[in-house]
Structure 1
Amino acid sequence: MDLTYLLDRISEPLLLAAGGLVVGVLFGAFAQQSRFCLRAASLEFSRGAPKDRLPVWLLAFSAALIGTQVLMILGEVQASEARQLASPQSLSGALFGGVMFGTGMVLARGCASRLLVLSATGNLRALLSGLVFAVVAQASLRGVLAPVREGLAGLWTTGDIGGNDLTAHLGLTPAITISFAALWLVAGLVFAWRARVRIWQLLAAAGAGLAIPFAWWFTSAMARQAFDPVQVEGVTFTGPSADTLMLVLSPPGNVLDFDIGLVPGVFLGSFLAALLTKELALQGFEGGRSMARYLTGATLMGFGGMLAGGCAVGAGITGASIFAVTAWITLTAIWLSAAVTDRLLTRNGKSRAAAADEASQPA
């Protein structure tokens, strides 16, 4: 699609922000309606009790992979110009950051995108956790935590293995990548059939996943047709959350771009979807212990997401859709650490319950 008509009438920065807003609205609305959540999906899988969240995540994941790969085959997306493939990435950061992010999302009961979606529906726990996530992400990018992040990220990079393109390392053809993505789709449909997931929820999950190739297509088109350089990118929330926070806190005049429109768009899309379906409801913390858990999780996600180069959506699904090595490492680390953290929390919870029961027994 030619964007010349829009570029002749709208400034490039404003058009980029508008594109981010549209992508965000679509992702937010579909994610809210589908209950898209990596934390819930990973816990269902690790506990061996898949319900609706696992098939929803699998359908969104497969839709992102298939849509992006098809656009790459058609020449509509220049994945080689994406940050994940165009510059060296951190393998150690993907591993350590993924572990921290997976642990954090279990403690905060949602990944970065889920917190943003929930906050728009009136969940004050998610809103405060999301703000802490953005603050820590900014501190990890340019603040006091930046030296720690840079030290961990520099331990092992993709320069040591000859690049971050998994298809090049394994010699994968487009037919193989499409077939591989189709396996995830089949798995999602099988789990959905067994759990009797509603058709609308599955369609919404696919819609949330297709927002990612839409973002790849839009930024690729802008990179080809805009006068100023434009970064080819998909959907991610760690960096954009930090940038949006600084836009609010810093003086006006900051440059508009795709990321600046994305976060408000997701919030708006989730809010509108919840409003139309009458799902808006104020929710708060249940006590000090609960609040400490959420904020600890948000802190781990903020640092871990920036260290890994993105969140569960950005470093995981978006990066995986172009088969970046670091994305698959991050995604694997998130799933494994989430399962381990859930197992430890469950064990500790049972121990506390047993101790309380014993203390209540008469001497």
Structure 2
Amino acid sequence: MSTEAAADPSSLVVWGGFGLAFVFGAIANRSNFCTMGAVSDVVNMGHWGRMRMWLLAIAVAIVGTNLLFLAGLIDVPKTIYQRPTLSWLSLLVGGVLFGVGMSLAGGCANKNLIRAGGGSVRSLVVLTFLAISAYMTLKGLFGQWRASFLDPVSLDLGKMGLSDQSLASLVAKATGIEAKTALMATLWVVGLALAAFAFADKRFRANTTQWSAGLVIGAVVVAGWYLTGHLGFGENPETLENVYFATNTRTLESMSFVAPTAYTLELLMLWTDKSLRVTFGIATALGVIAGSLAWALASKTFRWEGFASFDDLRNQLIGAVLMGFGGVTAMGCTVGQGLTGVSTLAIGSFIALAGIVAGSAATLKYITWRAERDA
């Protein structure tokens, strides 16, 4: 990257996002990091190894993100997750549908990006349909349904005396303690509790690959916030206003993979539209594929993969459409809400995450029941 490009905040955010996602993709491929897989392991086998890895990543993301905020390096309340309007029905329904979809498709958006890097043509098809569905939910027919029937069902937290959705703000309001103290207490209680649970298992402590992956993936989320919220925040030379450069939401962002797939498809289809640019989200989606590809080639695990049958194709496409709609409606996926959103301690992110896990667990149980019945 040239000195000129490095000095441009937009280029820094885009290339920095690609680099962080490259690490994410390589580590996730190496460690088999997958939220759907973690839920499946618990539901079907009672094995918590991958779930502990995911929970450790959440703990690191929560502590790191809020320490950046307390240090004045990023402004967490400006994220999309902290808006004072809590669209709880959209978050819950979107989360459940995303959970159902990722179980039908055999993995979430992030897992399909990783598989695509490993040679899965099937995942490329899933990602294409996911992107179309997500775009329709952002700006098309599905978006009309979302805006008309789900989003209006919400709570105005401002009327309750809360300026944002932070769990810490709710604690401060309920207890009367000072906001900074409430945030410190909340982030350490939640973060340490998750980390303690993860490391409580002897087998997990002995599995260096899993716990190191949890630490790195959580740190990547924190680094994403710092990149877009600090290094990418500055004065726009054209308007002389302080802006967040190269983000689709026009505010600070970190890892999330549903809406970015839609924006990637839009850019590819409307490449000659000079108003469109490569953003942090687009760069991270491509970075995960590249990182996964690099690890697959280095470890000699790259292999072409297609659909096993027509039933497999049908389930994958239905799952992709549900993930696209659910991910946008819930404002994030297993990473976008399950790691990035939760790292802000947003109440809505916990609602979306609960919906994702519940939808996935119920679908996995149903799939197992049908397989046993038809056996």
Among 322, 331, 349, the residue aligned to 1:309: 331
Identity of aligned residues (%): 28
Residues 1:241 and 2:261 aligned together: yes
Is residue 2:219 matched to residue 1:218?
A: no
> Are residues 239 and 7 of structure 1, via their aligned partners in 2, closer, same or farther at CA, if it must alter by over 3 Å?
farther
- How many Å separate the matches in 2 of 1:26 and 1:339? 29
Do the aligned partners of residues 66 and 114 (structure 1) sit closer, same or farther apart at CA in structure 2, a change above 3 Å counting? same
| Cα separation, 1, equivalents of 2:303 and 2:6 | 40
**Deviations, residues 80-126 of structure 1 (Å, cap 9, x unaligned):** 11121146342111100011001111111101111111111011222
Q: CA deviation at 1:289?
A: 0.5
Q: 1:69, CA displacement in angstroms?
A: 2.2
Deviation at 1:225, TM superposition (A): 2.9
Change (3 A) 1:86 1:326: closer
The match for 1:90 among 83, 87, 90 is 87
CA contact (8 A) 2:87 2:153 kept: yes
Give the match for residue 215 of structure 2: 206
The CA distance in 1 between the partners of 2:304 and 2:261, in whole Å, is 22
Q: Distance in 2 between matches of 1:222 and 1:6?
A: 16
Aligned to 1:320: 342
Deviation digits for residues 292-330 of structure 1, max 9, x if unmatched? 111111111100001111111112211110111110001
Contact 1:63 1:209 in 2 (8 A): yes
Q: Which amino acid aligns with 2:145?
A: V
- Confirm or deny that 1:331 pairs with 2:327: no
Give the match's secondary structure for 1:251: coil
Number of equivalent positions: 348
Distance 2:63 2:287 in 1: 24
Deviation of 1:256 (Å) = 3.2
User: C-alpha deviations, 1:153-187, integer Å up to 9, x for none?
Assistant: 32322425654222111223313312311111121
- For the 8 Å contact 2:234–2:243, the answer to whether it is kept is no
The RMSD of aligned alpha carbons is 2.1
Corresponding position: 1:189 with 2:199 = yes
CA contact (8 A) 1:315 1:330 kept: yes
Partner of 2:169: 168
Deviates more, 1:211-220 or 1:160-169: 160-169
Asked if the contact 1:55–1:188 (Cα under 8 Å) also holds between the matched residues in 2, the reply is: yes
Query: 1:21 pairs with 15, 18, 37, which one?
Result: 18
Q: TM-score, normalised by structure 1?
A: 0.90
Please list every run of 5 or more consecutive structure 2 residues that lacks an aligned counterpart in the other structure: 173-181, 237-241, 245-250
SS at 1:345's partner residue?
helix
Going from structure 1 to structure 2, the CA distance change for 1:63 and 1:9 (only over 3 Å counts) comes to closer
Q: Report the Cα offset of residue 188 of structure 1.
A: 1.4
- Helix, strand or coil at the partner of 1:93: helix
Match of 2:108 among 80, 92, 111: 111
Give 1:98-137 correspondences, 5 Å limit: 98-137=95-134
Distance 1:268 1:223 in 2: 23
Please show how residues 34-73 of structure 1 align to structure 2 within 5 Å: 34-47=31-44, 49-73=46-70
Q: Which amino acid aligns with 2:338?
A: G
Cα distance in 2 for residues equivalent to 1:313 and 1:74 = 24
On the 8 A contact 2:73/2:230 being kept in 1, the answer is: yes
TM-aligned CA deviation for residue 144 of structure 1:
1.9
Q: 1:9 to 1:287 in 2, by over 3 A?
A: closer
- 1:179 and 2:189 equivalent? yes
Q: Which residue in the other structure is 2:368 paired with?
A: 346
| Equivalent position SS for 1:229 | strand
CA shift in 2, pair 1:148/1:197, >3 Å: farther
* Greater mean deviation of Cα atoms: 292-301 or 41-50: 41-50
Letter in 2 for 1:182: L
TM-score between the two structures when normalised by the length of structure 2: 0.87
**Residue in structure 2 matched with residue 360 of structure 1 by the alignment:** none
Q: Secondary structure at the match of 1:310?
A: coil
What letter corresponds to residue 82 of structure 1 in structure 2? T
Whether the 8 Å contact between 2:342 and 2:350 is mirrored in structure 1 is yes
Summarize the Cα distance change of 1:315–1:248 in structure 2 as closer, same or farther, 3 Å threshold.
same
Extract unaligned runs of 5+ from structure 1: 354-363
